[in-house]
Structures are given as structure tokens and as C-alpha cells.
Amino acid sequence: MNKKALFYFLVAISLVGCNNVPEHGAMLNEKVSEGISKNQVEVEKIIKALADVERAILDQKWDEIYGKIESKYILKHSLAGAASLTQAQRRAIAANASQVYFNLLDKISEKEKELISETRANSNTIKSINNEVTQYLLSVEELEAAKSNITSKLSELTGYNLSSISGLANNLIGGI
């Protein structure tokens, strides 16, 4: 065998050792990316629904919020009780209770945005990793095609059928 043929033979042997990739593995991974995107949409819907539930609970707790603000106001101003409140004092309590209510609404909205942002970042990271895997699979598919081409050329050049050794170990193990 000449040096050129030996070189091709060694290249072919190194390529034969590569793992087999499922056919259309890169296309399957693109479907995984689509699934990740769809999952992200569903997760955001869940987060928004939970935030809406918390807002509804807050609405239901208005009387409790008002009552706590009223009690603090009465205590702070050393008043006899709710019955002794003037109209102006009741407006001040209502304004304070409203402020507390809207602050709580803002906190719920902030948490909702934070969770959506975190899940988007996580989904983007997963998609990025999946894209890397897709690129790897594409390169391996190209390598498989190149390996097949090299094997074919070497078979023509040397008369040896190198593909008869490719996958032999897996076939032998599968037969156990």
C-alpha cells in the first residue's frame, strides 16, 4: 500500500470510531426548540393566572386591609374607636388603605414580571444549549457523510470494504 492510501486508511479508521447519530437528529432537535418555546408560553400563562388569583385574593381582603389601616390610625391618634372617626379621618384611612392596596398590587405585578423574566432566561438558556447540540448533530451528520465518502473512495483505491468493520462492535454486543 502506498503512503497516500495508508493516510486515507488511517483517516477512515479514525472516522469509523465515531458514534452513530440518529437519522435526522438535527431536525428532531429543532422540534425540541419549538417545544421549549411552546412550554415557555404555557409557563407564562400559569404565572399570569396565579398572579390574577393573588389579585383576586387581594380584592377579597379589602375589608381586612381597611380594618388594619383603620386600627393603626385609631391607635396612632389615640382615638376612642371607629365610631368616633370624622368624615375627614375616614377619607384619610380610605386613602391610606388604597395606597397599601395599590402597593400590594404592584408587588404582585413585580413578582409576576420577575418570574416571567426568569423563566424566559431559563428557556433561552435551554434553547441555546439545544442549538449547540443541533449544531453538533449537524456537524456529526456531515462527518458521517464524509466518513461514508472516504470509505467509498478508500474501497475504490484499495479494494477493501472498510464499512464491514464499521458498527461491528455494536452488532456483536447486540447479538449477546
Q: Count the alpha carbons within 13 Å of 73 in the hemisphere toward its beta carbon.
A: 22
12, 150 Cβ separation under 8 angstroms: yes
How many helices (H) does the chain have, and how many strands (E)? 5, 0
Rounded to whole angstroms, how far apart are CA atoms 119 and 123? 6
Rounded to whole angstroms, how far apart are CA atoms 95 and 157? 91
Each residue's pLDDT tens digit, 6-53: 444 444 444 444 455 556 666 777 788 888 899 999 999 999 999 999
28, 133 Cβ separation under 8 angstroms: no
- Local structure of 68: helix, strand or coil: helix
Rounded to whole angstroms, how far apart are CA atoms 37 and 124? 9
67, 100 Cβ separation under 8 angstroms: no
Each residue's pLDDT tens digit, 61-119: 999 999 999 999 999 999 888 888 999 999 999 999 999 999 999 999 999 999 999 99
